[in-house]
Structure 1
Amino acid sequence: MPSKPEDKAMHQLQSQQSELLDKIDELRGIGVGGLVELPQLIVCGSQSSGKSSVLEAISRVRFPTKSTLCTRFATEVILRRKPQTRVKVSIEPGDSRTNEQERQRLRDFTSEAFSSDNNLQDLIDQARACMGISDNVAQDAGFCDDVLKIEISGPDKPELTLVDLPGLYNTPSEEQSIEGIQIVRQLTERYMAKDRSIILAVISAKVDYHIQEVLNIAKGYDPEYERVLAIVTQTDKLDEGSDEEERWLHYIRNEGIKLKLGWHALRNRSHKTRNVSDAERDEEERNHFAKGRWASLPRAHVGIDRLRHRLSTILLKHVAGSLPTLIKDIEQKINDRKQSLDKLGTARPTTRDQRGFLLNISSKFQRITAEALNGIGSKDFFGGLSDETPESGDPRRLRAVIRELNEYFADAMSTRGFRRDLAQNVSEPLSDSTNPKFQSYLSQWVPEKVTADDLMKHLMRQAANNRGIEFPGNPNQLLVGELFRDQVVPWKHIAQHHLNQAWQSVDDFVQLAFGYLTDDSTKNALLVGIIHPELEKLRDSLNKKLDELLSYTTTGHPLPVGRAFLERVQQRRAENQLENLQRNLVMENTIFENSSDWDQAKFTFQDLERAANQIQTSHGQFAVTDIVIQMQAYYEIAIVIFIDNVAILAIENCLLRPLEHIFSNQVINDMDDKEIEKLAGESQEVREERDRLSGELKKLEAGMRTLGTFALGRASVVGR
């Protein structure tokens, strides 16, 4: 008895093998295969590689062998072990068939069940005619994505479902067009590209391996050959003991081109033995592989009996292993369709229905916006905490984005918010200086580097040219204001960039919100008709607020209020006087190498008197040093106020707080019927999209019900 949980699950699935494969076929039949990749075995190879003979040997049913472009479609061969022999042919319409009447006409082609395969050729010909495929190459330029289904049951049939693809070829003929070369290859590649396809690559031993491209094509979609089984046919055509025979044995032992599923060797019917019985065919095959070098191969890798068993095991394991991800994929598709249908809303033929539809969107938008501004978003729109966040921030989390931008703004103002770099305790930015968004703030202004001497000379000239009624030795207060206004020139550039960034973040959020809440057609109508005009009003309000905040700063005279300014001025004056005193107390033959030397130094009263006189002389009659001190003290207070005002009075009051009201219930109630219909009326495309999504949802839900028994069974077995 199996001991591991996965072994128990496999044992349970084996006991239900036929039912499990029937369920996968049922999924394909109800159209789930067009929405979700289904596990399958695909048979592909070059023309004349023996594909038909392989299918005949596996199914015990004689397939038509005519190799023309009439096989420009896939054939699904369903083999089931049943007490009675039956053969049935039907058509599953492809995705390219968009007309429902046409699709139903193809589905209606379902032959009666026959007790033998004598009529199989006629049935296939009738099905081809129903699909609109003839033997005339000129008439049939393209391939057909309809699937011909051949259901074969009998007591000797293995439990298998195979998808037989048209044979690859490289040379056109009267019956095979040059266009068909690419058509058949594209069809083969389309099936190989599906991750849940096991590739059965049929290769003829009588043709040089290097000119049979099926494995090379497979490698393009399965580089490690993890889902490829190579079936070598016509091995009896090799000369006994030849190098060519040994080369093929090397491949079949999986020693040359290594395949995870390995290789398998068969002996096909020849033209002379085409009418011998299946039992005779199998006996000849057993005799062939019991002789010569072929006897050295493992018996599990030769002969049709072992291939049937091998394919059944491969398919069973493949289907069983695919069930968890298949169920997960179907669940995801169901959720996607439900969300899309929720965006479209129910049918809304009347104005009342349309108004209700908009009111529902409005309520949800206000809720999402409030959550975004409070930083407490629900998972449906905002995603979970474990979601990966892009480097530029998640635009859905609006509060986090705005806070980050405010930090960039504050950092940029602290490090680049002055016209002249006076090198007076300029702080380093707290933000990541390599961040592209922060770099965009820093690029708005580059301060001008000036030395203290250059600044003093400039101010001396300014003071001399702008003397007022102040007493000699006192600063001209008008110069303080002029220097301050010159120093804050970058504020507008940096703040304008910040407001633009904040507004763009809001615009990004709004677009995502409406993309989540409704379909593209309604979203675009709302954005163009209501939302964008309202956002432009908010942008104008932001810009006006910035002009207001800068108005007095750029035109008025500094009017400091409170003790903070006076304390800063006094502190700066004291620091400046101490610095000048130290500079002028350099006694002859005395060198102060570090600050500790000052603690041990002794000075006379004459030294202090001389140093004080030098300080007064250096200040000059215009007191330009005090002008700089007062300007810098006022700048340090004003910049903090400005940063706060931009963040609160501009962004919060003029952009964020009005945001949830740009599409409120009141806005909708104030609309007339024509406006409502223009915004929420349904186009033909929307109605068709709802029908399509509803149809797909029904298929997927039916598929989930089909797999429900196995999903629950597997969960209960593995959970033990």
Structure 2
Amino acid sequence: MSRIDGNSEALKQLRAELEPVHRDFNRLDAKTLKRGPRLPRLAVVGEASCGKSSVLDAFTHIGFPVKEQNGTLFTTAVILRCTQLAKAEAKVNNGDTKTAPTGSRLQTLERRGPDERDFAGIVDDAKALLRIQRSDGYCPQHGLYIKVSGPDLLPLFITDLPGILWDDEQRNDDDAVLCRELAEREMANTDVVILAVVSAQNGPNALKILDLVKKYDPRGERTLGIITKPDLAVSQADQLKFANLVRNMDPEYRLDLGWHMLRNRPYSGWTVSAEERDLVETEFFRMAPWSSVPPQARGAWMLRLRLGHILQASILKGLPDLSMATEAKMETLDIRLQRLGPPLSTVEEARNCMVKVAAQFQTLLAAALKGDYTDTFFGDGGVGYGAYRHEDTVVRRLRTLMGNLNRSFALVMVNSGAKRHFINSDGSGDYKAQVPSQLIPFVEFYHQPGPDATPREEFIAEVENMIPVNSSEAVIASLFREQAAPWESIATTHIELAKSTVKAFVESTMTHIVGTDNKILGEALRTFVDPFFIRTSMELELKLKELLKHYKEGHIQPHDTAFRRFLFQQQAGLQYRPLARNPDLKSWSIDRTNAEAAVDEMTSYYNFTLQTFTDNVITLVVDNCLISHMPDIITLDRVLELNDEDLQMFVTETEEMKQRRTDIKIERFELKEALSACQKHLDRGFSGVPLVLRPTAGSDVTGIPSQPPSTLSSF
């Protein structure tokens, strides 16, 4: 047979295996990655005249030229597609730069009607066009590309390559190099299933081709070894060698896909039909030593079945990536659907919706305030954040975020809360806290300049001039207020940052609950959230003024008993410091001693009240006036207080939104159906025993069912 006939038993058998898998896979790909139809690919490689074309002829019945004196002369690619419309075209690539100038090397062979699929006729026309004579040798620079599509065909890309020449004296050196380059280029493509053809006629030396194949497929994961011409094996030792090889028992040449054996059609029998050829082959394998070869690993019929499984696997190896892309797209569609929010067409639907929103908000808020982040709303906090952005996850972990913000506020108060930073005569200075790396971004939000570096002795001299004019208490109060001047600015910034953090949490929570591509979110924010922050902002401002009033206007003389004890203990050590610092008693004066005491007392009082003020801002202002009131933002009672006119603003389901919702649901359903169709082609597998108890050695013959089909008995 020399026609490409989809109704032949061989192609029908292959089509039954490949077409459903290829159809479902490409249907899913078209909806996700959109890489275009991808055909399963086969390439035969082997030495010259090893029977490569005979292998293709045996399992396809297409009629590859098997009676050529010099074997395959040039690369021949047959591209089959299953389509509704029948079409055929053939093109010749003239690689001879002397006879075909650049730009005219690719030429179309014009064939019409029944001749479109006449494979032998197309090959002859290509030879005529390329001016190849029967006596000519290899022409690897040329190529023939035949594309045939139709409803009766299967999806398959077959490449028949010129034989590899090991002995450069057989052919032109350039031809030998090019033949090898063509084979290597094809084998380097990881989508190609390699049929490594070895002729038993050439003995064990023919296995040299495996060394080249393993360069590109070390384990033989996509290589099926094909042993041809077993009837021409010369010695009994060679026969036993190849009989063991086909059982995949030779560790040196073991392949994951295993080996297969075919009996080639002899040159004298090329006119015999494909069916008769298969029957002759079946009888041959009943003779020793070939009868010891497992039925699954011999004969053209079983090769078709075996290649069907292998090519199926080659298609499905891309399914994990495709499945991930599909899952990601379905997740995106779910997010889009969520953003549309629930469909609301009536006031009653709006009321029921807002009741659910209030309940969800209270649940998520309670978890956020407790630091319970088990809900998916908060992300996983580990490897990834699923469908949520990293920023969303950080904002939603409210307790953690507010804790970092409060710690940063305390650090800024310690490091930048004072107007002056005193430098002692020995070079030492006031304490400065180290900022942890994770808090640096928070600290930078305060934009607070550091204190002015002031020599302590110079400052005491300034204060000394103030003492005769003012009482010591007035001097201390004045110095303290000047030193604590940055507190108001820092506290105000902290409150604004806290409000911004809480507002971001609330908006993110509402977005999660009701979506964004609808009116519900905007109306909910206007109805419940905005009024809350207006009220709270006024309360926060008043509370901060209340805290600052004592330090700015009140009597700030320390009166706490614990502080007086602390001050007395400190003064006991200070009374000798003037003499210790300056042994020149002539320079000592009562005014200087009072000035030093005033500076020391102011510094002690500042440090004592700094912590109190910091704690009060965090607790009395932020926690009591903001955080503790958050549950009041949206409650069941507030929802039930809304009248029909208020609720009418939440009704959102326009015709355009209905259509968008329908389109998204249909697209997601189609994706899920397409993915399920692909997954049905995967083997479920059966373990039987735990992994730790399974043997590591695999089956000797792989890539095939354990038992031959009953139809073999008819041969």
Normalised TM-score (structure 2)? 0.57
Matches within 5 A, 1:80-91: 89-90=83-84
User: Hey, what does 1:68 align to over in structure 2?
Assistant: none
Alpha carbons 1:394, 1:401 under 8 Å: kept: yes
Counterpart CA distance in 1 for 2:458 and 2:15 is: 92
Counterpart of 1:544 in structure 2 is: 542
Could you give the per-residue CA deviations for residues 426-480 of structure 1, whole angstroms, max 9, x where no partner exists?
334243258541441574121011112211121123334xx25xxxxxx431111
Cα 1:636–1:680 change in 2 (3 A) is farther
**Are residue 412 (structure 1) and residue 423 (structure 2) matched?**
no
Q: Which amino acid aligns with 1:410?
A: A
Once residues 302 and 261 of structure 1 are traced to their aligned partners in structure 2, the CA distance between those partners, rounded to angstroms, is: 23
User: What residue is the counterpart of 1:525 in the other structure?
Assistant: 522
Deviations 1:481-533 (A, max 9, x none): 11111001111222222223222222332232223222212365246524345
Letter in structure 1 aligned against 2:441: K
Matches within 5 A, 1:267-282: none
Matches of 2:544 and 2:359, distance apart in 1: 32
Q: 1:376 to 1:24 in 2, by over 3 A?
A: farther
Distance 1:16 1:651 in 2: 73
Give the whole-Å Cα distance in 2 for the aligned partners of 1:481 and 1:639: 15
Counterparts of 1:409 and 1:392, CA distance in 2: 23
The 8 Å contact of residues 358 and 634 in structure 2, kept in 1 or not, is answered as yes
1:201-260 deviation digits (Å, cap 9, x = unpaired): xxx964699xx9xxxxxxxxxxxxxxxx99767859x99934552342232342899444
Distance 1:256 1:582 in 2: 91
Q: What corresponds to 1:396 in structure 2?
A: 396
Check whether the contact 1:420–1:447 (CA below 8 A) recurs between aligned residues. yes
Q: Does 1:246 align with 2:182?
A: no
Post-superposition CA distance 1:159-201 (Å, at most 9, x none): xxxxxxxxxx999x9x9xxxxxxxxxxxxxxxxxxxxxxxxxx
Q: Which residue of 1 aligns with 2:667?
A: 696
Query: Which aligned pairs between 1:318-357 and structure 2 lie closer than 5 A?
Result: 318-322=314-318, 337-338=333-334, 340-341=336-337, 344-357=340-353
Q: Tell whether 2:504 aligns with 1:496.
A: no
Q: Distance in 1 between matches of 2:504 and 2:308?
A: 53
Contact 1:253–1:263 (Cα < 8 Å) also in 2:
no
Q: 1:19 offset after TM fit, Å?
A: 6.9
Q: Retained in 1: the 8 A contact 2:21–2:681?
A: no
- Equivalent residues in 2 for 1:215-614, closer than 5 Å: 241-242=171-172, 244-254=174-184, 258-260=188-190, 312=308, 315-322=311-318, 337-338=333-334, 340-341=336-337, 344-387=340-383, 394-423=394-423, 426-432=430-436, 435-440=439-444, 443-464=447-468, 467-468=469-470, 475-522=471-518, 524-526=521-523, 529-530=526-527, 531-532=529-530, 534-583=532-581
In the superposition, relative to structure 1, how do residues 410 and 302 fare at CA in structure 2: closer, same or farther (>3 Å)?
farther
Give the drift of 1:357.
Answer: 1.6
2:32 and 2:325 in contact (8 A); partners too = no
Stretch of structure 1 that moved more, 695-704 or 653-662: 695-704
Q: Which moved more, 1:677-686 or 1:369-378?
A: 677-686
Compared with structure 1, are the counterparts of its residues 263 and 370 closer, same or farther at alpha carbon in structure 2 (3 Å cutoff)?
closer
* TM-fit CA distance, 1:300: 5.8
- Indicate the larger mover: 440-449 or 400-409: 440-449
Contiguous gaps of at least 5 residues in structure 1: 1-14, 45-54, 63-74, 79-88, 91-118, 125-168, 176-203, 213-228, 267-284, 469-474, 587-610
C-alpha distance in 2, partners of 1:717/1:16?
31
Residue deviations 1:340-382 (CA, integer Å, cap 9, x gap): 5455454322111122122222221221111111101233201
1:367–1:462 distance in 2 versus 1, CA, 3 Å: same
The answer on whether the counterparts of 1:252 and 1:265 sit within 8 Å (CA) in structure 2 is no
Residue 230 of structure 1 contacts residue 262 of structure 1 at CA under 8 Å; is this kept in 2?
A: no
Q: CA deviation digits over 1:130-156, x for unaligned, max 9?
A: xxxxxxxxxxxxxxxxxxxxxxxxxxx
Aligned length: 500
Structure 2 spans left out of the alignment, 5+ residues: 1-12, 42-55, 64-78, 90-101, 109-138, 146-155, 211-223, 229-263, 265-299, 692-715
Matches of 1:476 and 1:356, distance apart in 2? 68
Change (3 A) 1:245 1:621: closer
State the distance in 2 between where 1:500 and 1:76 align: 69
CA distance in 2 between partners of 1:205 and 1:527 (Å): 74
**Distance in 1 between residues matched to 2:59 and 2:574, nearest whole Å:** 100
Instruction: Find the aligned partners of 1:497 and 1:170 in 2 and give their Cα distance.
Output: 72
Displacement of 1:77: 3.0
Root mean square deviation of aligned Cα: 5.3
1:231–1:263 Cα contact (<8 Å) kept: no
Q: For the Cα contact (< 8 Å) 2:422–2:453, is it kept in 1? A: yes
Q: CA deviation at 1:409?
A: 1.0
Q: Which amino acid aligns with 1:663?
A: I
Mapped contact 1:565–1:633 kept (Cα < 8 A): no
Is the 2:419–2:485 Cα contact (8 Å) retained in structure 1?
Answer: yes
SS at structure 1 position matched to 2:394: coil
Aligned to 1:593: none
SS, match of residue 520 in structure 1: coil
Distance 1:28 1:444 in 2: 60
Offset, 1:704: 5.6
Counterpart amino acid of residue 500 in structure 2: Q
**2: CA distance between counterparts of 1:309 and 1:345?**
52
CA distance in 2, matches of 1:646, 1:339: 39
TM-score after normalising by structure 1 = 0.57
Q: Secondary structure at the match of 1:653?
A: helix
Residues 619 and 625 of structure 1 are in contact (CA less than 8 Å); yes or no, is this contact kept in structure 2? no
Aligned to 2:81, the other structure's residue is in SS state: strand
**What is the deviation of 1:420?**
0.7
Contact 1:419 1:490 in 2 (8 A): yes
Question: 3-state DSSP class of the match of 2:38?
Answer: strand
SS of 1:77's partner is strand
Supply the distance in 1 between the matched residues of 2:651 and 2:80 (Cα, whole angstroms).
Answer: 45
C-alpha separation in 2, matches of 1:673 and 1:634? 59
Shift of 1:713: 2.0
| Alpha carbons of structure 1 residues 379 and 428: separation in structure 2 relative to 1, 3 Å | same
Secondary structure of the 1:644 match is helix
Kept after mapping to 1: 8 A contact 2:369/2:398: yes
% identity of equivalent residues: 21
